[in-house]
A and B are shown apart, each in its own frame.
Chain A
């Protein structure tokens, strides 16, 4: 398999994973926002971010997009892990949130997405810096 075809496959896989994560967040968003404002706003942000990432990957993808995608998804995963490990009453709820099915599924998807995006990033050739001389 040529490097370009491999990168395209990775890109498509990343697109599917980003949309899958977005789908889960869109599914729970209405109920979450109605009941608890801050988590609802966070879910909205994740749904927007994953939607933009997925669409952008669908139409091509550069290293910066993969990097941003990695950073964004690592942040989302860390928030999920943090809220399951400790309670942050000022932001979320005064309890360690339970590990529920959809949240765990989204985190697995986002972890896979991070791996695929890193692989995608590595599969892309670095652009040579062009030096302009007189």
Chain B
């Protein structure tokens, strides 16, 4: 067969229209995906940076038995990696944000100012909070000059109650002492905004806890663990589809199941070092990572005994301590643990490791037993009065929710529905007890606003070793978890969602309304 001009023209046109055009169309996204996958943080020598402790902020004024705070959300430059400056979006410009210390039944009002270029919403995670102060994803604080109609939350559902430039959040603190945290909760953009630094500790104390001989003062240490990836210039790297966080929500496909950074930060420092005395220390561990779970252990393990004594969970003190070799913490979970360094000789180096990590993410931080000291603390065998868990015999309703993420990215869903602020998926009655049965593939940290719950069972068996006490977040670990919830406090609309923040942003969230 001879090749004619017509044949050549046809082949050329087919190659152009059939291959060159589509290949041209994918060149930009493929380039972005390849570049994004290859970002590596600058190297840092682990265990050289001292562990910082976030500052405890003071009330601006005290009035009528309540503490009034002012906090400004703003950009600032902070040295996270040695020798490099990172722009953070922080509460008062610091990352992690300043710690708020509150007392049970003493209300706190925080005026949050937004000096960032994007809308924000503040959620007190674990707080039993009235709906107007819960940080509903569309209850936004718009920045100066922001048109409320323009892309406040990328057009998903109806608008919330927008505030302009500032908003007062009221926290009654009418519950037990607990380690809570506050973080951004803006619709569609929680992941990138928390990643840039919008998270901080909120420690609620009460007389029950004060009366216990647990370690106090500088031996009561908040440990905010998160992972980040940095560019060579020290800036955070987050694979947003729209890095301005103004228009299109979501992340590049390779991060659709979570942004996993290659650098572990504790209280905002990479693989830090803490010198301790050979006594007991209390660590309030918060997994503030967007998506990474940690399986924490001590290396070397203490001779003869278990590494950790858990005294508290998300919702405060346990009834009795639980001893663990490891602590498995999903995103947003808190574990209040005691480590007794008297089991190590002075001079010992003890590494807090993440058994589930690989490479650099296997290490978290290091303790150096630097000095001997007299022990003044103890862990009593009884920590708190009976926890008054919901009685499964009084259950009014059993609800089932299925958490499934898109395997190759895209939307994530609960019961095959994406989040719609206008749709209510459950209407529990105020004061009622319900059982919620949550099924997941493969693993999602399930979080409910407003309430704490009790884990009843895991995959038909008893609760797992890390399910004790009151919880507001539980790792579903690819199975079925049943929880008992008592809906108390306020009527109104709240959300429950996956606390893998990339899943949350891609709509793995739903509403319940307490009626």
Contacts and interface: CB of A to CB of B under 8 A. Distances in A.
B410 A93 contact: yes
B22 A44 contact: yes
A39 interface: yes
A29 B22 contact: yes
A47 B13 contact: no
A52 B16 CA distance: 9
Contacts of B404: 89, 94
B416 A96 contact: yes
A100 to B, nearest CB: 13
Contact of A33 (B26, B256, B406, B416): B26
Contacts of B6: 59
Interface string A41-56: 0001001110110111
A94 B9 CA distance: 44
Interface in B1-53: 6, 9-10, 13-14, 16-19, 21-22, 25-26, 28-30, 32-33
Interface residues of A, number: 34
Contacts of A40: 26, 29, 253
B250 interface: yes
B412 interface: yes
Interface in B233-259: 241, 248, 250-254, 256
A91 B407 contact: yes
Which residue, of A30, A47, A59, A95, has the highest number of chain B Cβ atoms within 10 A? A95
A58 interface: yes
Contact of B13 (A29, A34, A55): A55
Contacts of A92: 406, 408, 410
B406 A89 contact: yes
Contacts of B13: 55, 58-59
Contacts of B32: 34
A36 B408 contact: yes
A94 B413 contact: yes
B428 interface: no
B408 A38 contact: yes
29 contacts: A19-B17, A30-B26, A30-B28, A34-B29, A36-B253, A36-B409, A37-B253, A37-B408, A39-B408, A39-B410, A40-B29, A44-B26, A51-B18, A51-B19, A51-B21, A52-B14, A52-B18, A56-B14, A58-B13, A59-B13, A87-B413, A87-B416, A89-B404, A89-B405, A91-B407, A93-B406, A94-B405, A94-B411, A95-B418
Interface of A: 19, 22, 26, 29-31, 33-40, 44, 47-49, 51-52, 54-56, 58-59, 87, 89-96
